Chain A
Amino acid sequence: MAIAMHTVALWRAAHGRTGDKGDRSNISVIAWAPELYPLVVEQITEAAIARQFAHRRPAQVTRHLLPNLHAMNVVLDGVLDGGVNDALNLDSHGKALSFLLLELPLEVPAALLPLLRGPDSQNPSGDKP
């Protein structure tokens, strides 16, 4: 029997913060609940992240999984136009980039919808990307 899946933005299921060192950005993705973590691991792949950051031409995308924390640490190389001293971006640190990653779509089974954050948890079809 097929399970009904709902597409939501990742920020409904996880939160994160960006850090930078040189031309390398790291973005944490932390599930709001342990039950949501396997979905994040399965769907927010290195390939999916690379596509989301394609315009920044990542040299490499690496995920580090932290199951005890229900989190993963995403490392993106070469996405900061040289880094804080060289980029022309107003946000030369790339501080905002966690919110770009958290725009990725996530398929969530109906049973887990109550664990999502944000408005309209019971009717997620409203924010289908």
Chain B
Amino acid sequence: MATPPVLRIGCAAGFSGDRTDAAGPVVDALLAAGGPAVLIFETLAERTLALAHLARRHDPAAGFEPLLDAMLQPVLARCLRGGVKIVSNFGAANPRGAALRIREMALQQGLPAPRIAVIAGDDVSGPAHRVALQRALGTALDGRDVVSANAYLGAEPIAAALKAGAQIVVGGRIADPSLTVGPALAHFGWAHGDWDRLARATMAGHLLECGTQVSGGYYADPGIKDVAGMANLGYPIAEIDEQGDCIITKPAGSGGCVDEHTVKEQLLYEVHDPAAYLTPDVVADIGAAHVHTVGTDRVRLAGVRGHARTGTLKINVCFESGWLAEGEISYAGARAEARARLAADVLRERLQTVGALRADLIGVASIFGDDDGRWLAATPCGDARDVRLRVALRHAERTSAERLVREVTALYCCGPAGGGGVRTALRPTLGTLSCLLPRDSVPASFEMID
């Protein structure tokens, strides 16, 4: 039997809010290479999904990726005509809504209605799962206003939808690497329980899932790690072979770089125990993985092993958790740092009955610091001459959190000399809880819209 051709998977988004002109060069490269190809967009984070659920509460037609049109419009026709499949979790809280919008986009462009599969089953916020969630989370959810509860689905419903002829697969909470494993599973027809191949494809998906983070984005450090062409970074493409091993590359002529160091940084990104990277599809083991340059902007990942997947799926529950208030004011010139520190002292005294206040001196000591202020307290007052004070607190009640906004604004008249540029923000916050549910209790399926 002939070896099946490599499967090329390009990734055109690593998060909601990624560059929306990403897909064009990736699709050009996939079409130029010929052969089976898939375009994925990974646009969901915990918070993104909860915000999508809130959006759907206000408008039942909303709740999918707000930038869907901008991401897809420029490449939809070329993908459909060229046979490039599209797989994404940009359906967020409303995959069916996203699918209908894509269908509408295609018809508006004069294309035949595409076969779009909608993945269902990730939403576990309904009554069917309530008892199981309460059992898993105990009293942690008592009295909470739950915004969303979603299971991380795996590759199987994607593979099933593609095998059934879907040109586009739209899901909600699908685990990031499963967007890659699904098409690979459909293409190569690996056996159930082929953990090594599933693990290799999973790590290919892991390398793709943050977009340019593997191809020179989030990497540059002038003089140490120089990256050319950052304004036009090439989004990554994985060439996956029948063994599941992959070569990571990017479109010719694009900015950025794919080398052993960019690949290693992304390989370990958000990994804990390298021998047990848990996904819905497999337990991947990169303890013996290795990377090798095989050409310009071409790096091969090999040596990944797999172990049997667990019997559970991860669930994220989002709930409304109160209010975050923030305020900022700047000081410049002689004794600017001392004046900013004095302003922080004034705010602490004024707000002591409201709650714990975090203070940052931007330009002196800020994001390395801890919320309790040990880092700032250990930083002696220096002579910084352009300092922005930033304060923040959380409170369950809006009116209490709002006190911070008023006190920072009042520094215009009542604070130290020369303070300017006050900005304040007050926003509702979301909390999350995670638990595991038995895999069998969260069945996934797909519905074809054509």
User: Which residues of A come within 8 Å of B, CB atoms?
Assistant: 11, 15-17, 19-22, 24, 26, 28, 30, 32, 55-57, 64, 66, 68-69, 71, 73, 75, 81, 84-91, 96-97, 100, 117-119
Contacts and interface: CB of A to CB of B under 8 A. Distances in A.
B20 interface: no
B288 interface: yes
21 contacts: A11-B224, A15-B224, A17-B266, A17-B268, A19-B271, A30-B265, A55-B369, A55-B378, A57-B370, A64-B272, A66-B268, A68-B289, A73-B274, A84-B46, A85-B429, A85-B431, A88-B324, A89-B367, A89-B369, A100-B368, A117-B225
B269 to A, nearest CB: 5
Contact of A66 (B261, B286, B367, B431): B286
Contact of A71 (B47, B225, B264, B374): B264
B370 A56 contact: yes
* 6 closest Cβ pairs, A-B complex: A19-B270, A88-B358, A28-B268, A91-B367, A81-B371, A55-B374
B393 A88 contact: yes
Interface string B261-290: 100111111111111000000000011111
A115 B303 CA distance: 27
Contacts of A15: 221, 224-225, 261, 265
A19 B370 CA distance: 17
A112 to B, nearest CB: 17
A64 B273 CA distance: 7
Contacts of A117: 224-225
Interface in B355-394: 358, 360, 366-371, 374-375, 378, 390, 392-394
Contacts of B289: 66, 68-69
A24 B270 CA distance: 10
Nearest to B50: A85
Interface size class of B (residues with CB under 8 A): 35 or more
Contact of A89 (B371, B374, B378): B371
Nearest to A69: B264
Interface of B: 46-47, 213, 218-219, 221, 223-225, 261, 264-275, 286-291, 303, 321, 324, 358, 360, 366-371, 374-375, 378, 390, 392-394, 429-432, 434
Nearest to A68: B290
Given A69-B289, A84-B47, A89-B358, A17 B367 contact: no
A26 B369 contact: no
Contact of A64 (B269, B270, B274, B434): B274
Contacts of A21: 270, 272
B264 A30 contact: yes
Given A64-B274, A71-B268, 12 more contacts: A15-B224, A17-B219, A24-B272, A28-B269, A30-B264, A64-B272, A73-B271, A85-B47, A86-B431, A88-B394, A96-B368, A117-B225
